[in-house]
Amino acid sequence: MNRRSTRLVALATAAGLAVAALSGCSTGGTNAAAGDDVTLTWWHNGTGEPLNGFWQDVATEFEEAHPNVTVEVTAVQNEELKTKVAVALQSNNPPDLFQQWGGGQMVDQVAAGKLLDVSDDVADELELIGGSAAGWQVDGKTYGLPFSMGISGFWYNKALFEQAGITEAPSTVDELNDAVDKLKTAGITPIVVGAKDKWPAAHYWYWLALRSCGQDVLQDASKDLVFDDKCFTEAGEELQSFIDTEPFQEGFLGTSAQQGATSSAGLLANGNAAMELMGHWQPGVMGGLTEDGKGLGDDLGWFPFPAVSGADGAADAMLGGGDGYSCSASAPPECVELLKYISSVDVQTRFAETGAGLPVTKGSESGVTDPNMVALLEARNDASYVQLWLDIAYGNNVGGALNDAVANMFAGQGTAEDIVTAMNDAAAQQ
């Protein structure tokens, strides 16, 4: 039996088990098997493979276990999805289930009454997910569940590193600068960044703040939204120094992060650059941007953001966040059932097997077999702490101002002090 046949049998077996498991689900609401016909709308950002097909499989399994339910799944490119969800919530015409990143943005949605409180229905799921669910909770209540919790770092092309004579992944910023020089000498674009979307550029500042500031400083800033500690300015100065080395591709200010083969992810996936700083979802995105659907395959490697010599931040601290789902306030009970199914050990294990992210449900770790994902999982588990993406942690106003200010620096129109001023000004206006 070839690999494809084995996979089809595995999917069929999993689907059968899923139907059996799902038949016992209940939130105390309408019984899906006996109730009226229900159509659930589900929006996610998994436009490429394997995620697009995987989520469709999950929807099909749910429909088979709930014959009266139809699940309409829509995959929307990440940047478009964020805007689409915001507009839909504002117009009171949201999808039933939609991708949710937690943090300050979700707090605002809860305050506006846009999300369904699922606390009473997901006690068993919370027991298995543990502390990873905190980002989807507000004032002790749960408004969604994560399906993946990961970290970011540098994804790199092993073959291009070897071609440039780089034998080990950089562990300090000085070593990263040396690697950039070697790649340039070899005629290879060192790093790609989708600065058009702003947040990929801003991730450099997030990481340098993590390496420059102590944990207590970052935690206090997330709570008080005051950014007067000198380490925040130092992070900007470090970033300016790095930008001055000209490590990025030509036209990076107009490059998107994930939209097509000419995006930063597409350039890396197709062997046109050596590195990109990006999150745990990168392999899943890259696979959809190459003709063979495989991305870089075995040539893809990963290493954490390097340490900054002499800085106050912990070298083993990680920057990350999660992907999850929330039900809109008007969603039917079946939405909660689907949310719970996505969080099941079976679905989480199969999600991990796709290599598109790190699962959060206890018992699903066996699905993490991709060497890069194993490395990310070990780095996440061994970290002294994991700091939530700063734009998410600080909320829409401050996070947006931060991303804008960093984008200005990348464009040569801002300073380290300007970034801090923009954040403090945005916080003062809240």
- What pairs with residue 388 in β-bridges? 320
pLDDT score for 23: 41
Q: Distance between CA atoms of 250 and 336, rounded to whole angstroms?
A: 46
Q: How confident is the model at residue 288 (pLDDT cuts 50, 70, 90)?
A: confident
Where do runs of H (alpha helix) occur along 66-141?
A: 78-90, 103-111, 123-129
Mean local confidence (pLDDT), 267-293: 92
Q: How far apart are the first and last CA of the chain?
A: 61
pLDDT score for 64: 98
Q: Which of 91-95, 104-108, 319-323 has the highest mean predicted lDDT (pLDDT)?
A: 91-95
Q: Is the peptide bond before 306 cis (omega within 30 degrees of 0)?
A: no
Closest alpha carbon to 187 in 156, 157, 164: 164
pLDDT score for 189: 99
Instruction: Bin 385: left if φ > 0, else alpha if -120 < ψ < 50, else beta.
Output: beta
Q: Distance between CA atoms of 28 and 400, rounded to whole angstroms?
A: 40
Q: Decide: 316 and 306 in contact? Cβ < 8 Å.
A: no
What the block records as the tokens of 122 is 């997901």
pLDDT score for 294: 81
Question: What is the DSSP secondary-structure string of 44-76?
Answer: ES--STTHHHHHHHHHHHHHHHSTTEEEEEEE-
- Which has the higher per-residue pLDDT, 132 or 186? 186
Mean local confidence (pLDDT), 103-120: 93
pLDDT in tens, 122-173: 999 999 998 889 889 988 999 999 999 999 999 999 999 999 999 999 999 9
Q: Distance between CA atoms of 402 and 417, rounded to whole angstroms?
A: 12
pLDDT score for 61: 99
Distances (CA, A) of 286 to 193, 281, 292: 14, 9, 11
- Average pLDDT of the chain to the nearest whole number: 90
Q: Which of 40-44, 60-64, 100-104 has the least mean pLDDT?
A: 100-104
In the chain, DSSP finds a helix count (H) and a strand count (E) of 17, 12
Helix 416-428 vs helix 390-410: crossing angle, to nearest 10: 140
Question: Which one of 3.30.70.20, 3.40.190.10, 3.40.50.1980, 2.40.50.140 gives the CATH number of domain 3-149+322-377?
Answer: 3.40.190.10
Mean local confidence (pLDDT), 24-51: 72
pLDDT in tens, 302-333: 999 999 999 999 999 999 999 999 999 999 99
Mean local confidence (pLDDT), 4-20: 34
- Which has the higher per-residue pLDDT, 17 or 409? 409
Q: Distance between CA atoms of 130 and 63, rounded to whole angstroms?
A: 28
Q: How confident is the model at residue 430 (pLDDT cuts 50, 70, 90)?
A: confident
Could you give the residue range(s) of every CATH 3.40.190.10 domain in the chain?
Answer: 3-149+322-377, 151-319+382-428
Domain 151-319+382-428: give its CATH code. 3.40.190.10
Q: Is the pLDDT at 380 greater than 80, yes or no?
A: yes
Q: Distance between CA atoms of 124 and 27, rounded to whole angstroms?
A: 12
Q: Is the pLDDT at 224 greater than 60, yes or no?
A: yes
- Which has the higher per-residue pLDDT, 1 or 151? 151
Q: Is the pLDDT at 176 greater than 90, yes or no?
A: yes
Mean local confidence (pLDDT), 397-418: 98
DSSP 291: T
